[in-house]
Structure 1
């Protein structure tokens, strides 16, 4: 059986296919890269066989997701106009951030605990944390949603009138967003990359687009409020799909196991992760939120569309991060520091070089892509040249914060993000009133560059790993049989 599998891998490998189909000079040029791809896809070792395939699947999902997101945002912007589009993206961005943070870190900490418990045969704890994570997340997100609705009601006079009703609607969706994020983390912890990322990054945006188009066909007004309602219904349908497809698989073999609970331990690990991700989400969205505070929805729409184009570069980092987090945790639990360091350096190469290629493509095609959003959106094109500097700097250290979190260094990682967020907020508060969207772009580029430097220094001090692109390495060529 094993021999047959290896024969199939060789017969249908990318390198062998190129030798048969391409001219000899092109095949010779392509062979080194395709051989590495074959090693990534078909290696029997745990490092490349599991994490590599998960990263590749995550990468492909993020590529497709970026295309879907771009198309859907373009269509929605054209359907409802820049003013209402600005309202929609402002409200929905806040809701996605708040929904994720209302998990209080449990949706990420399970990516660390589930592989550990499965590897050590601690099935009681495994069942306990999977049950606890869902119940806890639903409880905290519901409480936060109630506080949010009360806050909008109390301070409605300080909020622009066109934001009030969309915010009420969006806040009611927080528990659904939180549960969906927790189920994503559960699937990723089991290395089900497609099932983990597919619903949120593929199904949900497609449903938002389809439901928005249906609403307009049925005669509903083309407003930001209608778009928020479409997003809420899409999120509910996505969560139902995840419940049906993920939950039964996680229960396999555990139905007769008595759950064991370590609430204090789980909470002590999850809360620093909550702080990290809170700082991270605020860092990556502080510019959009503060642009929304200082400037009208039309400017929010232009800036958000520009960051959506930039996401075509940033998704490489997210794809690698999604595929390697549980592998970091596995190596850390095994105590194999040399293997962890070797793998960490490889993930820097996986992140940086594709990001660099994507950055060039975005700068080349950014203006026509922005013009698709409608009149006036191409004004954001010059901002890309500033923003891309920060994204490339960030990719030069790979998923360093995941390495810190999965190796028990979540507290110092939270401190790094807190410092970086402070830099971002201060710069945005100073520069946006003075220079508008240019100020936001400069602030974000500087903040991301500072984040990369601080993360690289922290990884080196705590783990002794030089996790920067000059020290990165590509996977070794695997021997075939």
Structure 2
């Protein structure tokens, strides 16, 4: 019998497939663990995206274009401000916790796990009250239909901020499901359930009702996550004295906050500027396009979420060879899946947009423009997390600030004339500029070639 023909048989092919899956999902190496965790994060984000997509489709159809545009506008502000009001603690937790573990600083570790959440909750509550005052002050100049939803958005912010902080703590322990599912699965389920219930009962599902449902979903998901996280931490961290280094935490977190803030501003500038110059209906169409392309950014998010604390760990241990190999691995597993996802989404773009309603198909051309920036950015992987974890937060923040400034200028110049096409072009150009800057910074500061293809000199 010819032994070389065995692999071609069905049984041989099945054996090879099982071997490949075992290599991908099994093993205890850093790469195997990262693949599993990144796969978990990606699946959660994809399921969440499908649920969010469904909820946006239902809301767009139930609310109508104008109310949907107002809801998108207010929810964008919640996402933007809520992601910045934790001082960068959610990201810095992935640096602080591994360093405390490596140094055996158990008291500081216990203090951080407890104090970081109460600190972010207290300050975000104060800021939310101040923001409600700003809404009151500016109400004569704000769209009357947006005032009450904006107040509800302020009420949502403290829970949103604490959930982000808990997400960072959970990810630092490799508890990806605990970190992400409350925000991306449970929250979306509650939004869908509450809005569907209101619609079924005959309530007028406008922007106010939709924001009430979203606020309730955020608070319920955060409280449930807190209960489970506390139980898991009790089994992981021995009880004892707590030490609080608020100044040290902020010294690490605030530069990271700058990076995160400029990144978020860069991400949401297009929608916010579009709201100022174009109709709410056009904002809704553009938002549908962004949601459709979200799968590409989820891949980058999955790798960033699973690699950041390992960058910090390897750096703290002084293992440069391991760090370099791990960075290269993270970049490869960011770019090539992103390329495949981009091709698939562009091919299916029209049917996906049609799900929002026939009028949303006009945004199909915008998808191609917006996809360029996302794909180029994926070519260098999660290098912003690398810079943050290795102490180069300020230069990274500068790169993001320059890209943000460029995005604002281009959006203001292009959106009034070209609408969604101009917003997509401005954002893609800014992402390309940001990618070039980050590549150059990592090359100069760390001596690494952070590109999915080509070789460093």
| Alignment TM-score, normalising by the size of structure 2 | 0.95
Q: 1:291 to 1:327 in 2, by over 3 A?
A: same
Matched, 1:267 2:227: no
- Contact residue 269 and residue 408 of structure 2 kept, 8 A: yes
Aligned to 2:60: 77
Matched, 1:44 2:10: no
Deviation string, structure 1 residues 254-312 (Cα, Å, up to 9, x no partner): 46311112222111111011111110101011101111111121111000000000102
Q: 1:438 to 1:23 in 2, by over 3 A?
A: farther
Q: Report the Cα offset of residue 37 of structure 1.
A: 4.8
Q: 1:201 to 1:22 in 2, by over 3 A?
A: farther
Aligned to 2:96: 113
Partners of 2:20 and 2:389 lie apart in 1 by 26
User: Residue 463 of structure 1: which of 432, 440, 446 is its match?
Assistant: 446
Matched, 1:436 2:419: yes
Matched, 1:298 2:264: no
Aligned to 1:61: 44
- Contact residue 262 and residue 400 of structure 2 kept, 8 A: yes
- Contact residue 102 and residue 316 of structure 2 kept, 8 A: no
Q: Report the Cα offset of residue 157 of structure 1.
A: 1.3
Partners of 1:240 and 1:363 lie apart in 2 by 38
Q: Report the Cα offset of residue 138 of structure 1.
A: 0.7
User: Residue 143 of structure 2: which of 160, 166, 183 is its match?
Assistant: 160
Q: 1:386 to 1:23 in 2, by over 3 A?
A: farther
Residue segments in structure 1 that go unaligned for 5+ positions in a row? 1-17, 474-481
Aligned to 1:4: none
Matched, 1:369 2:349: no
Q: 1:36 to 1:416 in 2, by over 3 A?
A: farther
User: Residue 204 of structure 1: which of 164, 169, 187 is its match?
Assistant: 187
Matched, 1:150 2:133: yes
Q: How does 1:72-471 map to 2 (within 5 A)?
A: 72-252=55-235, 254=237, 256-471=239-454
- Contact residue 41 and residue 48 of structure 1 kept, 8 A: no
- Contact residue 348 and residue 472 of structure 1 kept, 8 A: no
Partners of 1:333 and 1:37 lie apart in 2 by 32
- Contact residue 325 and residue 406 of structure 1 kept, 8 A: yes
Partners of 1:179 and 1:268 lie apart in 2 by 20
Partners of 2:223 and 2:289 lie apart in 1 by 32
- Contact residue 346 and residue 472 of structure 1 kept, 8 A: no
- Contact residue 141 and residue 174 of structure 1 kept, 8 A: yes
Partners of 2:28 and 2:205 lie apart in 1 by 53
Q: Report the Cα offset of residue 44 of structure 1.
A: 2.1
Residue segments in structure 2 that go unaligned for 5+ positions in a row? 1-5
Q: SS of the counterpart of 2:391?
A: coil
- Which deviates further from its counterpart, 119-128 or 177-186? 119-128
Q: Report the Cα offset of residue 22 of structure 1.
A: 4.2
Q: 1:22 to 1:320 in 2, by over 3 A?
A: farther
Partners of 1:36 and 1:409 lie apart in 2 by 38
Aligned pair count reads 451
- Contact residue 117 and residue 126 of structure 1 kept, 8 A: yes
CA RMSD in angstroms comes to: 2.0
Q: SS of the counterpart of 2:104?
A: coil
Q: Report the Cα offset of residue 471 of structure 1.
A: 4.2
Q: Report the Cα offset of residue 452 of structure 1.
A: 1.1
Deviation string, structure 1 residues 451-476 (Cα, Å, up to 9, x no partner): 11111111111111111111489xxx
- Contact residue 51 and residue 327 of structure 1 kept, 8 A: no
Q: Report the Cα offset of residue 119 of structure 1.
A: 2.9
Aligned to 2:3: none
